[in-house]
Structure 1
Amino acid sequence: MNSAQRSIYDSLTPDELDQRNQLEIAQTPPNIDSPLAVNDLAVGVFAAMGMTAASLATDRGLPPQQVRVDRWHAGNTLNSVAWHFQNGWQLDIHVVHSAINGFFQSRDGRHIIYNGAYPHLRQIILDFLGCPNHKERITEATASYDAFELEESLSKLGACIAVVRSAEEWASHEQGRHLASVPAVEIVKLADSEPRPFSTTPTRPLSGLRALDLSKVLAGPTLGRQLAEHGAQVIHLRHPYQDLIYPFDIETSYGKINSYLDFTRPRGRERLLELAREADVFAQGYRFGAMEKNGFGPHDLARENPHLVYVQLNAYGFGGPWAHRHGFEQLAQSVTGAAAINGGSLSNPKLVPAYMNDYLTGFLGALGAMIALRRRAREGGAWLVNVSLARTCQLALDLPLRDPGEALRPTQHEDLGPWLIDQDSSLGVLTRLKSPIEYSETPCFADIAATAPGTHPPEWREVTQPKPPHRPTQMLDSLELLGNMALH
């Protein structure tokens, strides 16, 4: 590992790992065009998760193995939703490029960013500004407000807005200081209980373990998908009438039972409690405090299940004045200083062209769950894992900037052939990027291909697939592309 990768890896591996497992990093050229060392950040995260999963596997009696991460492939993983195909057709994610989503200049010359990916969030902003979802009208309306006044007013209404800040401004902000005081993967013991040893007849690192995923795009469902691809039984639960962004929901559904459930109704509440009592991991990405109000907060469920690992994800962390604010990838990049660094200045913000915080926060949540499961096996207890988009972004800012003399290898779909896999599904042949973590003995795979929301009843099912059902892509020459789907 290079020094940047090593610093991330060391910060994310607090517990002893089995040194019989071997780590290999393929130091291929980076592909993410940014001054930030995004490829190296991704390598460090994936290496930490891979070696933790391999150690969990040997804890359970599986053989030591080699873990391999490719630097170029690691960067492409941060745009994996852009490299997802249904019967050869690239899934269209242009819905996230709505007129409201982007940077606008305020009256005082600062830049703000809105995100209205979901209709109700978009409407809050448009109603406040008094204009339609039209770029020129939004520009005019925004220019009549001072930036921080607008941020505060719209945030109180529940909108997704952020003033673009420098890294120095964020470091001195109360929320930035709070996040700097906690680790990127915060793991806290919730309650004492007897150790819960792993079963000793697994075929994969998480064989026999059960996880509930109550989250929306993109970080939370990525967490659930990673648990599934390491062998866990995962049920994804969503409200049947909740807004969705179809390509993102499909891309993160691999390996999961995909179910509807409304826990605000008596029947749904009862069913969720039943599932939580039987689960090993409960992951949720609701606004901070929402689950507590409904009786499904960390301490609530630790009383119901004293062996539970509870993972929660949000935009700005779980303390400080912004803990309750909504946020997405683009806002995390903007408030922390990443967008200003990527664009060269505060006056020219530009997003890093990758969903780096979304995907990496999902992987960090899965990593935290694995660390907590190992601790549960040794010392018992219920555990809480906290991860957030902005804290993940601060990891990137902690690294030295990328060497500008190192040549980039931009991603062309023709170059992805060795990294693309096909899998048959009820939606046809789905083509996707394979896992960025390669294991010699327990390869990642999804025994269930991607499915539409609500496909299955909310019931556990055994994962019995003995080997990966996917195959190297046969469709590279016939893929139909709409264009650049990377974040921009």
Structure 2
Amino acid sequence: MLHEAWAALQGPADDPRTLEVTGGAGAGGLAAPLAGPLATGELAVASAGAALLAAAELAEARGGARPVVAVDAAHVAVAFTSERHVRVDGGSAGAAMDPLSAFLPTADGWIRLHGNYPHHRAAVLRALGHPVDGAAGVPALVAARPGVALEDAVVAAGGCAAALRDPASWLAGDQGAALEGRGLLDFEPGVPRVTPPLSAPPSGATAAQPAAGLRILDLTRVIAGPVGTRVLAALGAQVLRVDAPLHAELPLQWLDTGPGKRSAHLQLRSRPDRERLHRLLDDTDVLITGYRPGSLDPFGLSPDVLAEKHPHLCTVSLSAWGDSGPWRGRRGFDSLVQSATGIASVASADGGVTPGVLPAQALDHGTGYLIAAAALRALTLRAREQRASHARVALARTAMWLLQHGDAVARSAPELPPAASFSTAPASPLGVVTVVRPPGTLDGEPLGWSAGPVVPGSDAPYWH
């Protein structure tokens, strides 16, 4: 899987670089703590390993020696469940899921609903006709509706849902067919052009900071995109996350994915704020976006406009369902992609009677590491060949990659190692925020963050 990821990223096929993996357990796979009927642990090691290999390549491209790359598989497994281990002042950091975000039986199968955000929760209730007893009345109303019809109704109401399908049904549908054969991700190196050179890392940067001095603008939300930029921050990049001021992130996800980043608020519907954003982009090395395809175009962030205004800029764009096919404009989350693509069917613990789930939100986390890997490879090509590269990733494409590596024999499932073994608490104005530290080492130097999560919107929208 690591070779497949590296090939998708158009990494040099003859590169002898290797990844040293330690911490495996048993015959079930290198990352056995993420065991199950699919190669979840192997996906975790492969995607994290791809990011580390791309980081080492960037270190060399910026004039350094080639670092030795290593990762502990048990550490990766804990990092892929990082949201479970966040603590604030020793206590809980909040719930990860709203009770409405669950599988429920329909008239002809199952459906996964999503209500973590208030507007998505309200959309589900609208699609069900505003049950008079609120969420308590949802199961009975869902049970009376066919799954796909209810899925369509929730989407039409502005919400998120996915009927349970098996892998064959997914591939037979229009969206699965649109993605089949597309591969894990798109990576377009672009044409060589005159771009500002990438300087060597600033003095004082360690071997584990090959991205030091580089600027990453983070226009992502929820888990996958913020995980990717969290990795880049751990590699030394200056990451500025930009959000709309009235669209607060869930507290748990903010704390989990916020270490190492600054945070600014901009309202892109405001012309002055759009101009501020484009001034930021003038000095940005990589723009990472995590919104539905086309939704940022009205703000001057379409590929054509970006190429014209900011020809030096590398981009990585994330979507749930891909940038082609009838579902390209749908909202989506890891749990919904697991349901629609057939992962939840394959992961069933009782032969398909009830849906199952992966042992981690591996589509989110795996795609996040692929985002980081794509950004690092783009920076390498800019340093070596003056190319502005562009990558596209999607949760559904990561899901289809994972399904290609399933088998009929469930892997053994030992418990995850103690999270405390891999925890850190960098200084944060939000209290003592304990999080899982980033996995991997470069030349024996562990990755890490200089600071913990900040107060949302507490930074000015400027580069230091």
Per the alignment, in what secondary structure is the counterpart of residue 452 of structure 2? Answer: coil
Q: What are structure 2's unaligned runs of at least 5 residues?
A: 26-31
Deviation sequence 1:247-290 (CA, Å, 0-9, x none): 10121111111111111112211100100121111111122211
Deviation at 1:13, TM superposition (A): 4.8
- 1:383, CA displacement in angstroms? 2.5
- Aligned counterparts of 2:4 and 2:400: Cα–Cα separation in 1: 11
Aligned to 1:118: 117
Identify which of 380, 385, 392 aligns with 1:386. Answer: 392
Answer whether contact 2:8 2:187 (CA < 8 A) is retained.
no
Cα distance in 2 for partners of 1:133, 1:239 equals: 33
- C-alpha separation in 1, matches of 2:133 and 2:320: 24
1:434 partner letter: R
Q: Does the 8 Å CA contact 1:225/1:253 hold for their aligned counterparts? A: yes
Output the CA distance in 2 between the equivalents of 1:112 and 1:17.
Answer: 42
Q: What is the distance in 2 between the residues matched to 1:201 and 1:78?
A: 29
Change (3 A) 1:132 1:299: farther
Pairing 1:30-429 to 2, within 5 Å after superposition: 30-94=32-96, 96=97, 98-107=98-107, 109-130=108-129, 131=131, 136-189=136-189, 193-194=193-194, 196-202=196-202, 203=205, 204-344=209-349, 345-401=351-407, 404=410, 407-411=412-416, 415-429=418-432
Q: Are the structure 2 counterparts of residues 14 and 265 from structure 1 closer, same or farther at C-alpha, using a change threshold of 3 Å?
A: same
Give the aligned residue type for 2:79: T
What is the distance in 2 between the residues matched to 1:289 and 1:235? 22
Shift of 1:12: 4.2
Residue 461 of structure 2 is aligned to residue 454 of structure 1: no
Secondary structure at 2:103 match in 1? strand
Alpha-carbon displacement from aligned partner over 1:381-426 (angstroms, at most 9, x marks no partner)? 333211111111112111133853x5432126xx233312232222
Q: Deviations over 1:21-67 (max 9, x none)?
A: 54211152211242111111111111111111101101112222221
Between 442-451 and 317-326, the greater mean CA deviation after superposition: 442-451
**Within 2, Cα distance between the matches of 1:451 and 1:401?**
43
SS at match of 1:306: coil
Aligned residues of 1:118 and 1:243 also touching (Cα < 8 A):
no
Structure-1 separation of matches of 2:79 and 2:62 = 29
171-180 or 189-198, which deviates more: 189-198
Distance 1:132 1:28, change over 3 A: farther
Aligned equivalents of 1:228, 1:427: Cα separation in 2: 19
Instruction: Tell me the matched-pair count.
Output: 451
DSSP-derived class of the 1:317 partner? coil
Q: What is the letter of the counterpart of residue 235 of structure 1?
A: L
Corresponding letter in the other structure for 1:379: E
Please tell me whether the aligned partners of residues 5 and 184 of structure 2 are also in contact (alpha carbons under 8 angstroms). Answer: no
Scaled by the length of structure 1, the TM-score of the pair is 0.87
Matching residue of 1:24: 20
Cα RMSD for the two superposed structures: 2.2
- Letter matched to residue 166 of structure 2: S
The change in CA–CA distance for 1:132 and 1:47 in structure 2 (over 3 A counts) is farther
Query: In the alignment, residue 246 of structure 2 is paired with which amino acid?
Result: Y
Does 2:402 correspond to 1:438? no
Q: Secondary structure of 2:153's match? A: helix
Distance 2:408 2:63 in 1: 40
3-state SS of paired residue (1:113):
strand
Q: Secondary structure at the match of 1:382?
A: coil
Letter in 2 for 1:236: R
Counterparts of 2:289 and 2:280, CA distance in 1: 14
How far does residue 72 in structure 1 lie from its aligned partner after superposition? 2.1
Q: 1:308, CA displacement in angstroms?
A: 0.6
Deviation at 1:428, TM superposition (A): 2.6
Q: Deviations over 1:194-241 (max 9, x none)?
A: 255421344321122111111111111112111111111111000111
* SS in structure 2 at match of 1:373: helix
Moved more, 147-156 or 181-190: 181-190
Secondary structure of the structure 2 residue equivalent to 1:74: helix
- Report how far residue 438 of structure 1 moved: 2.0
In 1, Cα distance between equivalents of 2:14 and 2:277: 36
How many Å separate the matches in 2 of 1:386 and 1:309? Answer: 11
Q: Aligned pair in 2 of structure 1 residues 6, 364: CA closer, same or farther (>3 Å)?
A: closer
CA contact (8 A) 2:47 2:366 kept: yes
C-alpha distance in 2 between matches for 1:8 and 1:349: 29
Indicate if the aligned counterparts of 1:195 and 1:377 stay in contact, CA closer than 8 A: no
CA contact (8 A) 1:215 1:286 kept: yes
**In the alignment, is the contact (CA less than 8 A) between 1:255 and 1:447 conserved in 2?**
yes
Q: Is the 8 A contact 1:12 1:45 kept in 2?
A: no
Task: State the Cα deviation string for residues 450-474 of structure 1 (Å, max 9, x = none).
Answer: 112112111212xxxxxxxxxxxxx
Equivalent in the alignment of 1:479: none
Distance 2:188 2:281 in 1: 19
Query: Amino acid of the residue matched to residue 21 of structure 2?
Result: I
By how many angstroms is 1:297 displaced? 1.6
Amino acid paired to 2:334: E
Distance 1:235 1:56 in 2: 20
For 2:161, the aligned partner's letter is I
Q: Give 1:14's match in structure 2, choosing from 10, 15, 24.
A: 10
Distance 2:457 2:249 in 1: 12
- Distance in 2 separating the partners of 1:83 and 1:129: 35
Separation (CA, whole Å) in 2 of partners of 1:249 and 1:231: 19
**Which AA in structure 1 matches 2:116?**
A
User: For the residues of structure 2 that align with 1:377 and 1:311, how far apart are their CA atoms?
Assistant: 17
Paired with 1:20 and 1:63, the residues of 2 have a C-alpha distance of: 14
In structure 2, what is the Cα distance between the partners aligned to 1:393 and 1:132?
37
State the alpha-carbon separation in 2 of the partners of residues 239 and 284 from structure 1. Answer: 13
Partners of 2:132 and 2:72 in 1: how far apart?
A: 45
